[in-house]
């Protein structure tokens, strides 16, 4: 039987023993017909298009540029004074998404600068989200906002689903949705099944990793077999992004750890076992 949703391999956290351009083929060999990526910008668009074509995959999601990641920045959407840089990032993201057929882009709000009040950071974020959503809407794309837990990432402005949903409601933009990362949600609010059921119409993408450790489902406390069945019962028809860090960090560790799918009665292409 086929589920209504399918799994996508996050190529920023999986198969990292090889360069990004080679991870598409490894994900396809593992059974994934969909992939996602945090930041594709290190590769030319043509190279990604060729990798997708050769592997018969679709790219379902990537992030807007998020500032200087190597220096510790985790998004600039809430940083006053950097609005022009944010808008340039939106255009850069679209320059990848449109030719690659990516239907949605994710925005990281960022860590609030210490010299900026929460009210000012939120006001900046609202204006940047409005700009990005309207730019994407002209091309029929969705904009997502992802809460990141503030235990792992201290000071992240939007650190729980309830904050993101309040922001989505306040802005009232027709193509602004929640990206629900189960790992981050578990760390901050829990109540996973009820939250998914209550807010599913406003959730455009789901990501998974277990807690603690952010490794494969089945390595921690979250009952993923139940959650996958729950998503089927609710009719979720999007992708479930595998954005975990394999417990086996040696070369080939991602592939060796992929048994969690069968253990949960699933295959990467969305079939139930």
In this predicted model, what pLDDT tens digit does every residue of 199-251 receive, in sequence order?
A: 999 999 999 999 999 999 999 999 999 999 999 999 999 999 999 999 999 99
- State mean pLDDT over 172-191: 97
User: 245 CB contacts (<8 Å, ≥6 apart)?
Assistant: 13, 209, 213, 214, 215
Phi-psi category of residue 214: left, alpha or beta, with phi > 0 → left and psi -120 to 50 → alpha: left
Q: Is residue 1 very low, low, confident or very high in pLDDT (cuts 50, 70, 90)?
A: low
Total-model pTM? 0.96
Task: Flag whether 30 is in a domain.
Answer: yes
Task: Please report, for the domain that includes residue 23, its CATH number.
Answer: 3.20.20.150
243 is catalytic: yes
Let me know if 146 is a catalytic residue.
yes
Name the nearest CA neighbour of 246 among 55, 65, 6, 14: 14
Total number of domains in the chain: 1
Domain of 143? 6-263
Q: Which residues contact 53 (CB under 8 A, 6 or more apart)?
A: none
pLDDT of residue 271: 74
Structural domain includes residue 113: yes
Identify the CA nearest to 245 among candidates 183, 169, 168: 183
Phi/psi of residue 239, nearest 5 degrees? -105, 150
Read off the tokens for 184. 């981050």
Asked whether residue 43 is assigned to any structural domain, the reply reads yes
Asked, for residue 114, whether it belongs to a domain, the answer is yes
Give the active site residue among 36, 146, 189, 191. 146
With left for phi above 0 and alpha for psi between -120 and 50, is residue 89 left, alpha or beta?
alpha
pLDDT of res. 269: 86
């Amino acid at each position: 039987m086929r589920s209504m949703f399918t799994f996508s391999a996050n190529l920023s956290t999986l198969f990292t023993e090889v360069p990004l351009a080679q991870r598409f083929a490894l994900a396809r060999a593992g059974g994934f017909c969909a992939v996602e990526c945090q930041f594709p910008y290190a590769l030319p668009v043509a190279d990604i298009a060729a990798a997708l074509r050769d592997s018969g995959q679709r790219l379902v999601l990537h992030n807007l540029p998020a500032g200087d990641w190597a220096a510790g920045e985790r998004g600039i959407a809430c940083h006053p004074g950097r609005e022009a840089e944010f808008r340039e990032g939106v255009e850069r993201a679209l320059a990848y998404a449109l030719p690659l057929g990516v239907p949605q882009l994710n925005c990281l709000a960022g860590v609030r600068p210490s010299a900026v009040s929460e009210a000012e950071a939120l006001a900046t974020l609202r204006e940047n989200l409005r700009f990005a959503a309207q730019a994407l809407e002209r091309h029929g794309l969705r904009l997502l906002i992802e809460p990141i837990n503030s235990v792992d990432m201290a000071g992240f402005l939007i650190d729980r689903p309830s904050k993101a949903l309040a922001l989505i409601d306040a802005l009232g933009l027709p193509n602004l949705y929640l990206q629900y990362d189960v790992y981050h949600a578990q760390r901050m609010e829990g109540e996973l099944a009820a939250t998914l059921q209550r807010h599913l119409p406003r959730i455009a993408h789901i990501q998974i990793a277990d807690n603690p450790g952010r490794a494969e489902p089945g390595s921690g406390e979250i009952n993923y077999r139940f959650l996958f069945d729950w998503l089927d019962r609710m009719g979720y028809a999007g992708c479930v992004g595998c954005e975990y860090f394999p417990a086996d960090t040696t070369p080939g560790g991602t592939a060796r750890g992929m048994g969690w799918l069968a253990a949960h009665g699933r295959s990467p292409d969305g079939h139930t076992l």
